Amino acid sequence: MTRTLSLGYSPCPNDTFIFYALVHGRIPLEGIQLRERLEDVETLNRLALDAVLDLTKISYHALGHLRRDYALLRSGGALGRGCGPLVVTRQAASMEALRGCTIAIPGELTTANLLLQLYGAGYENTSIMPFDRIMAAVQRGEVDAGVIIHESRFTFPSYGLVQVADLGAWWERETGHPIPLGGILARRSLGPELISRIDGAIRSSIEYAFAHPEETKGYIKRHSQELSDPVIESHIGLYVNEFSLDLGVAGQAAIEELFQRAERRGIIPSCQLPLFVD
């Protein structure tokens, strides 16, 4: 008997690269059929809060609110160095000057917003909008600044915008850890054996994509909002790395540090459950 599980991930190149082989039958997952759902990251965060999905990509900020019902997988996430969100404006400014200003963010539960709030007080006046609308909103003067993620890291100069801060670089200087952006979750109720199988299948899917990059291109481009090939390749190169294959000790330490800081600030609730189901 085949069991169907829902799987949520974003249409961004790193996610479609990671999950291509798994959802196209290149990686066997006996007895399991996956029903994929592609949504922007904040929509996925909200779906997970409503317990809609069995497996899903989420922001680590959202995971801080989901630890009771979901366990983190060791594979498939986005964590690294030099890949954090950027704060951009129309004209050169400082983070100090932006306190109290209106700042566009790609979602309340995104790690981008969590990093902004951890950076310091005075950045609570936020305007939530889809990540791909933020640069245009800043350009038009609808907001004072924007926190940009994903491929926007590579394209913001074309909007005439300037970088005020790299929140990922700030995190790395502050903690010494790589920056945890997003991870893959599984319902704890699926049980350790099935969760372990899924985790291994996602790692195999990434290895397949690295071994067959040309095969993945058509699927990636169908969902990448007409990005150019160089931007797609840069995006994958930045967000899919050794931590995507396995978080390892360094990745786990970074996540725990993020949660400890967020708990101390009262941004997320405390939780005694382990991150992983082993």
Q: Does the annotation list 57 as a binding residue?
A: yes
Q: Which domains are delineated in the chain?
A: 3-80+179-264 (3.40.190.10), 86-175 (3.40.190.10)
Q: Does the annotation list 217 as a binding residue?
A: no
DSSP three-state, residue 57:
strand
Give yes or no for a contact between 231 and 36, defined as CB atoms under 8 angstroms apart.
no
Rounded Cα distance, 86 and 103, in Å = 12
Give yes or no for a contact between 58 and 41, defined as CB atoms under 8 angstroms apart.
yes
Residue in the structure block whose two tokens are 């993020």: 258
Instruction: Give the pLDDT confidence score for residue 228 in this predicted structure.
Output: 85
Task: For 20, list phi and psi in degrees, rounded to 5.
Answer: -50, -55
Instruction: Give the pLDDT confidence score for residue 268 in this predicted structure.
Output: 97
150 is catalytic: yes
User: Per residue in 218-255, pLDDT tens?
Assistant: 999 999 866 788 889 988 998 999 999 999 999 999 99
Residue in the structure block whose two tokens are 């800043």: 138
Instruction: Give the pLDDT confidence score for residue 244 in this predicted structure.
Output: 97
User: Per residue in 98-126, pLDDT tens?
Assistant: 999 999 999 999 999 999 999 999 999 99
Residues ≥6 apart with Cβ < 8 Å to 64: 114, 259, 262, 263, 267, 268, 269, 271
Q: Does the annotation list 59 as a binding residue?
A: yes
Q: Kindly report the pTM of this predicted structure.
A: 0.92
∠ CA 227-230-236, rounded to 5°: 85
Report the C-alpha dihedral over residues 269, 274, 260, 62, rounded to 10 degrees. -50
Instruction: Give the pLDDT confidence score for residue 118 in this predicted structure.
Output: 97
Instruction: Give the pLDDT confidence score for residue 205 in this predicted structure.
Output: 98
Which residues in the chain show pLDDT less than 70? 225-226
Which one of 61, 150, 177, 235 is the catalytic residue? Answer: 150
Instruction: Give the pLDDT confidence score for residue 226 in this predicted structure.
Output: 63
- 182 has which bridge partners? 59, 78
Give yes or no for a contact between 105 and 143, defined as CB atoms under 8 angstroms apart.
no
Instruction: Give the pLDDT confidence score for residue 275 in this predicted structure.
Output: 95
Q: Does the annotation list 112 as a binding residue?
A: yes
